[in-house]
Chain A
Amino acid sequence: MRALSDLYSAQHGNMVRLATMLTGSEAAGSDAVHEAFIKMHRKWDRIDNHGAYLRRAVVNECNSMHRRRKVEKKHQPQPKPPSLPAEIDETWNAVQALPSRQRTVVVLRFHEDLTVNQIAEVMNVADGTVKSQLHKALASLRKNLSDQLDPTPGSRNPGATNLTTGNGAKEAQS
């Protein structure tokens, strides 16, 4: 119990911040961290790396909580977001609008500064999954935050469906 207490003292604040990023709410993040510590206590003796396990447990708990809250959110008032500058607020909302897995990789990458490999370990997925999720997340954020980012050159004309070549692309030589 003493070791758990020490870990709690050392990591509680960091984990709540991480969980806040993942859940979008400090209250929800605190609950997630609370649950993670309780679950960790049950398995304490079987855990090799307690710090790594805690982070993983918090991420799992946040994702699980996020799923539950998707239903609850329909019926409950939303927690008041932190007071932030407009630009930050818009980015924060865009991050929160990402699917949970994409949001997780973005937060772990840019808030926790983890490498792709480290993120993969935390999320228990392959490196490739992290990369694809990161790619999708950044593409989505670029699109949603285009007003804040430099315009992308090479705009194209919208048109009918074509998944591959488009009108101007090469056709196979027959």
Chain B
Amino acid sequence: MNPSDTMTKEFEDDSDELETLLRSTFSAVADTTDPKPEWGRVVADIGVTKPARTGWFTPRMGVLAGFAAAALVVGGIAIANLDSTNVEQGTDGLAEEGSDADDTDGTSPDTPNPPVDSRVPLITEPMALQLAESTPGVSRLDEADLGLVTRTAVFAQSDVAGDDSQGGILVSTIAGSEEMLGSYGSEGDDLIEIRGFTASVFEGAEGLLPGGFGIQFYDSDAGLAVSVGSPSAARDELIDIAENLVLGADGSPTLGPDAAARYDQMTNPAILAGLGSFGTAETTTYAVDGVGGTLETSLLVQVFEGSLDDARPAETLRGQVQDQTVRGVAGISSEWGQMLRNGILTDDTRETLIWEESPGVVIALSITRAAEPGSNPALDLVELAEGLRIGPSISEERTAALCQAATDLPTDTGEGYVGSQAHIADIGALAARPLPIEIEADLNRYFEFLTSGAIDTDQDPDSDLVENWPEPVQEALANVEAFIETNC
């Protein structure tokens, strides 16, 4: 029995009553709905709406516009043409209700900050409101991408120290569920299949990567959103790179064993310098929507493991870096200038502020905004930084919740439980909750196996023995159980 049969059968056998209830409910709600056509409003809004910002700078993309940029600055990698304006990370992760944001009480900047022993940064509400109010046309403030862990690798030409590194490749991965990270490819994107997954391809001709391309997709097997970009690679070349990526168990990307040889034959031959992965970073993005849902401003905060010394080489990138004192320690601020040189948003700017909050903990605060006429360019990053609060790690919270749920699982289940609908329901309920990223992919893999129909004791009495399951499933299960044993 294949997974499809399993799902369909269960759906038909067990859900008649529930189906009837759902249909009745939707019918009743539909009956109470009284749509009022507003064609005139559509016509009016079509007349005043700005041209669509396609490709790189849809809200979905723009939310993470600063993701790679801050990573690059903190990593101290001098690739001027490979910052986030060129290689953006597209996710639209969700801020969860009841999350750390609820703990934010708008405490004044004078309030002592809690120890930074965790990884979820928060801008206090007054600061966020200030950001919103200082940007004309802003209609709302969104909080997104709480606690996303990213790993970024840069593979560049040998002249990485200069500004002429046109041949580099940047690969970023973000661990999380598809629910959190969102699907890729919609609204007329250029969609292709990469590694068996639907991927969006973005062309630099839209303004950000003259001659280059970017590819984004969600690898549901690995539980990773993957972004691959290069300012110089041709479309087919970048597709080849993306197809041959090697993703480590923790999501760290590498180009694969024969990448150098392959890349040598590409349009822009280069000697690859594998700069490896950065440490993990948990990130909060605040996106301020403008007219029609188009992103106008994003504010991004990242917490890295590392030292400010690692970030100092970023100074050599631009001649516009200044030293700042932030929260009582030295920091670096940088005006990135016109980031979209040939694009629609020619006046967009990015400012980044980096400081070492405590030994081994570096925080990067980055703002991107469209310089609309009459906008306030003097938004004070330092003031925002002073108001920053660091909440508990999202992983810690999810681990605690998982532990509670795991202890509620039945143990006195009897013969025949493994692979039964009850078992599937129990594990499905566990897998449906927000999970620590360390085990999310493993638990989902285990759940998918359970629902695959592979356990059929009528056909094979030993099919419910763990030792008879596929090795990847055994490994996934072992990882989950080890995680629970260690952390719960």
Q: What is A's interface to B at a CB cutoff of 8 Å?
A: 1, 5, 8-9, 12-13, 16-17, 20-21, 26, 29-30, 34-35, 37-39, 41-43, 46-47, 56-57, 60, 64, 67-68, 70-74, 82-85, 87-88, 91-92, 95, 99-102, 106-107, 110-111, 116, 123-129, 131-132, 134-136, 138-143, 145, 148-150, 154, 156-170, 172-173
Please report the C-alpha to C-alpha distance between residue A158 and residue B49 in the assembled complex, in whole angstroms: 57
15 cross-chain CB contacts under 8 A? A34-B41, A42-B51, A46-B188, A71-B141, A91-B22, A101-B179, A138-B11, A142-B14, A145-B21, A154-B422, A156-B413, A161-B409, A163-B409, A163-B427, A166-B413
Q: Tell me how far the C-beta of A105 lies from the nearest C-beta in chain B, rounded to whole angstroms.
A: 11
Q: Tell me how far the C-beta of B257 lies from the nearest C-beta in chain A, rounded to whole angstroms.
A: 29
Top 5 A-B pairs, shortest CB-CB distance: A159-B411, A166-B413, A16-B35, A168-B414, A111-B26
User: Which residues in window 434-465 of B have CB below 8 A to A?
Assistant: 446-448, 451, 464-465
Q: Is the CB of A127 within 8 A of B4?
A: yes
Please report the C-alpha to C-alpha distance between residue A84 and residue B411 in the assembled complex, in whole angstroms: 40
Which secondary structure dominates chain B's binding surface? helix
Please report the C-alpha to C-alpha distance between residue A84 and residue B25 in the assembled complex, in whole angstroms: 9
Q: Is the CB of B187 within 8 A of A20?
A: no
Q: Tell me how far the C-beta of B486 lies from the nearest C-beta in chain A, rounded to whole angstroms.
A: 12
> Chain B residues with Cβ under 8 A from A46's Cβ?
188
Please report the C-alpha to C-alpha distance between residue A110 and residue B35 in the assembled complex, in whole angstroms: 20
Q: Is the CB of A169 within 8 A of B410?
A: no
Q: Does B30 sit within 8 A of A, measured CB to CB? A: yes
Q: Tell me how far the C-beta of B199 lies from the nearest C-beta in chain A, rounded to whole angstroms.
A: 11
0 or 1 for each of B173-201: is its CB under 8 Å from A? (1 = yes): 00000110001011110000000001000
Q: Is the CB of A143 within 8 A of B429?
A: yes
Question: A71-B142, A124-B183 in contact; A161/B414 too (CB < 8 A)?
Answer: no
> Chain A residues with Cβ under 8 A from B30's Cβ?
17, 20-21, 111
Q: Is the CB of B410 within 8 A of A158?
A: yes
Q: Is the CB of A74 within 8 A of B38?
A: no
Q: Does B378 sit within 8 A of A, measured CB to CB? A: no
Q: Does B143 sit within 8 A of A, measured CB to CB? A: yes
User: Which residues in window 182-228 of B have CB below 8 A to A?
Assistant: 183, 185-188, 198, 220
Q: Does B345 sit within 8 A of A, measured CB to CB? A: no
Q: Is the CB of A43 within 8 A of B187?
A: yes
Question: A72-B140, A110-B22 in contact; A164/B418 too (CB < 8 A)?
Answer: yes
- A30 contacts which of B36, B94, B412, B466 (Cβ < 8 Å)? B36
Please report the C-alpha to C-alpha distance between residue A35 and residue B42 in the assembled complex, in whole angstroms: 8
> Chain A residues with Cβ under 8 A from B428's Cβ?
135-136, 139
Please report the C-alpha to C-alpha distance between residue A167 and residue B481 in the assembled complex, in whole angstroms: 16
Q: Is the CB of A160 within 8 A of B411?
A: yes
Please report the C-alpha to C-alpha distance between residue A106 and residue B307 in the assembled complex, in whole angstroms: 48
Question: A138-B15, A141-B22, A172-B465 in contact; A161/B451 too (CB < 8 A)?
Answer: no
Please report the C-alpha to C-alpha distance between residue A132 and residue B446 in the assembled complex, in whole angstroms: 13
Q: Does B111 sit within 8 A of A, measured CB to CB? A: no
Q: Tell me how far the C-beta of B184 lies from the nearest C-beta in chain A, rounded to whole angstroms.
A: 8
Question: A21-B26, A71-B141, A129-B178 in contact; A168/B417 too (CB < 8 A)?
Answer: yes
Q: Is the CB of B429 within 8 A of A37?
A: no
Question: A39-B187, A169-B415 in contact; A110/B140 too (CB < 8 A)?
Answer: no
Q: Is the CB of B22 within 8 A of A106?
A: yes
Q: Does B243 sit within 8 A of A, measured CB to CB? A: no
Q: Is the CB of A166 within 8 A of B432?
A: no
Q: Is the CB of B92 within 8 A of A67?
A: yes
Question: A21-B26, A71-B101, A74-B97 in contact; A165/B466 too (CB < 8 A)?
Answer: yes
Please report the C-alpha to C-alpha distance between residue A168 and residue B411 in the assembled complex, in whole angstroms: 8
Question: A64-B293, A68-B140 in contact; A166/B45 too (CB < 8 A)?
Answer: no
- A139 contacts which of B101, B141, B432, B480 (Cβ < 8 Å)? B432
Q: Residue of B at shortest CB range from A12? A: B37
Q: Tell me how far the C-beta of B335 lies from the nearest C-beta in chain A, rounded to whole angstroms.
A: 29
Please report the C-alpha to C-alpha distance between residue A16 and residue B59 in the assembled complex, in whole angstroms: 23
Number of A-B contacts (CB under 8 A): 259
0 or 1 for each of B322-354: is its CB under 8 Å from A? (1 = yes): 000000000000000000000000000000000
Please report the C-alpha to C-alpha distance between residue A46 and residue B24 in the assembled complex, in whole angstroms: 38
Q: Is the CB of B4 within 8 A of A131?
A: yes
Q: Does B382 sit within 8 A of A, measured CB to CB? A: no
Please report the C-alpha to C-alpha distance between residue A21 and residue B35 in the assembled complex, in whole angstroms: 13
0 or 1 for each of B268-304: is its CB under 8 Å from A? (1 = yes): 0000000000000000000001001100000000000
Q: Is the CB of A57 within 8 A of B187?
A: yes
Please report the C-alpha to C-alpha distance between residue A36 and residue B231 in the assembled complex, in whole angstroms: 32
> Chain B residues with Cβ under 8 A from A88's Cβ?
24-25, 28-29
Q: Is the CB of A38 within 8 A of B18?
A: no
Q: Does B406 sit within 8 A of A, measured CB to CB? A: yes
Q: Does B262 sit within 8 A of A, measured CB to CB? A: no
Q: Residue of A at shortest CB range from B50? A: A42
Q: Residue of A at shortest CB range from B484? A: A161
- A34 contacts which of B38, B415, B427, B448 (Cβ < 8 Å)? B38
- A124 contacts which of B29, B37, B198, B480 (Cβ < 8 Å)? B198
Q: Tell me how far the C-beta of A27 lies from the nearest C-beta in chain B, rounded to whole angstroms.
A: 10
Please report the C-alpha to C-alpha distance between residue A154 and residue B14 in the assembled complex, in whole angstroms: 14
- B46 contacts which of A20, A41, A158 (Cβ < 8 Å)? A41
Q: Is the CB of A156 within 8 A of B29?
A: no
User: Which residues in window 76-94 of B have CB below 8 A to A?
Assistant: 92, 94
Question: A56-B186, A149-B21 in contact; A166/B407 too (CB < 8 A)?
Answer: no
Please report the C-alpha to C-alpha distance between residue A132 and residue B7 in the assembled complex, in whole angstroms: 8
Please report the C-alpha to C-alpha distance between residue A38 and residue B41 in the assembled complex, in whole angstroms: 10
0 or 1 for each of B471-487: is its CB under 8 Å from A? (1 = yes): 00000010011001000
Q: Is the CB of A82 within 8 A of B33?
A: yes
